[in-house]
Structure 1
Amino acid sequence: MTKRLVGMLLAASVATGVLAATPTAASASATSTSAGPHLIDYKIYFGKCEDTCRIKVRIKNVSRKRLYDVSLNARLWVNGTKVGACYDYVGGIRPKGVRWAGCTVRSAKLARLWTRYLDGEIDFDTETKTKVHYEYYS
């Protein structure tokens, strides 16, 4: 395999979050870099969270490569119960650049839990799990 093809496989594995299967004839350097570099750093912020929750994420490109097709997937959990998910397309991020992504979760389950919280039946401990997908060319 050429270095260009290995780079393309690595970019595909980083973008999808699933490692691509490499043939056994590939060089040792191709298998040692299969985990892929981490080119981003992000921090999660919550907006107002009642019967709807606003999730904002600050995405920072820490590499010297331009990132393409950056997108955010966020799942919202309240008291350990998944109440909804949302998606946002960010676009490209220049090297060392910062972009903001945000999405809003609205669901009947979230509204029911908020009503139970207002009635004093349960706590309202929010947690989010996010995934940021991106592509780059080496």
Structure 2
Amino acid sequence: MRTRLSVLLLSAAVAATTLAAASPAAHATVTTGTSVAAAGVQATATAARPKLIRTKIYFGRCKDTCRIKVRIKNASGKRLYDVTLNARLEINNRKAGSCYDYVGSIRPRATRWAGCTVRSGTLAKLWNRWLDGEIRWDREARTVVAYEYYG
């Protein structure tokens, strides 16, 4: 059953790509995800999409508020429009908050920086528990960068 679903998703993605290539005014919306820890196995439909960007995650100050910075590099020869960043912060595999940033457009082969700050009650409580020595402070950020391009 799993193989059938993968084949159906892959054939739907190929059909959508072929249809988009046939129309000169067509555009595609693509979302890619990265993680500081191991990303795991991605779905077949995600693998069929073009990967036009490369991302790298950096942490700024991360205590009771946490600054997440992401370097987004456009690896393609196409201009990317409406680039957005969604970040989800986890401390010890527990969701501590999330944030959002609008990046704008990125020229071909250019780099833009995006960043957002996570502020939440859960993060503040986890920080207090860490100060008391009750827990470890293993931080992890999962980011999703969405963009549009015209093909």
| Coarse TM-score class (shorter-chain normalised) | 0.7 to 0.9
**Alignment partner, residue 8 of structure 1:** 26
> When the two structures are superposed, what TM-score results if normalisation uses the length of structure 1?
0.80
Q: CA deviation at 1:37?
A: 1.1
Secondary structure at the counterpart of residue 48 of structure 2: coil
Structure 1 counterpart of 2:84, from 65, 71, 77: 71
Output the amino acid matched with 1:70.
Answer: V
Residue 117 of structure 2 is aligned to residue 99 of structure 1: no
Relative to structure 1, the CA distance from residue 81 to residue 102 in structure 2 (aligned partners, 3 Å threshold; closer, same or farther) is same
Structure 1 counterpart of 2:124, from 111, 117, 135: 111
Query: Partners in 2 of 1:67 and 1:78 — Cα distance?
Result: 32
Q: CA deviation at 1:16?
A: 9.1
Q: CA deviation at 1:5?
A: 3.5
Gaps of 5+ in 2: 1-18, 34-46
Query: Partners in 2 of 1:6 and 1:80 — Cα distance?
Result: 45
Residue 48 of structure 2 is aligned to residue 35 of structure 1: yes
Secondary structure at the counterpart of residue 26 of structure 2: helix
Output the amino acid matched with 2:101.
Answer: D
Gaps of 5+ in 1: 18-33
**Alignment partner, residue 60 of structure 1:** 73
**Alignment partner, residue 20 of structure 1:** none
Deviation by residue 1:64-105 (Cα, 9 ceiling, x = unmatched): 000000000000000010010000000000000000000000
Query: Partners in 1 of 2:68 and 2:20 — Cα distance?
Result: 42
Structure 2 counterpart of 1:45, from 24, 49, 58: 58
Query: Partners in 2 of 1:45 and 1:88 — Cα distance?
Result: 15
Query: Partners in 1 of 2:62 and 2:20 — Cα distance?
Result: 50
Query: Partners in 1 of 2:83 and 2:20 — Cα distance?
Result: 27
Secondary structure at the counterpart of residue 122 of structure 1: coil
Query: Partners in 2 of 1:98 and 1:72 — Cα distance?
Result: 14
Q: How many residues align?
A: 120
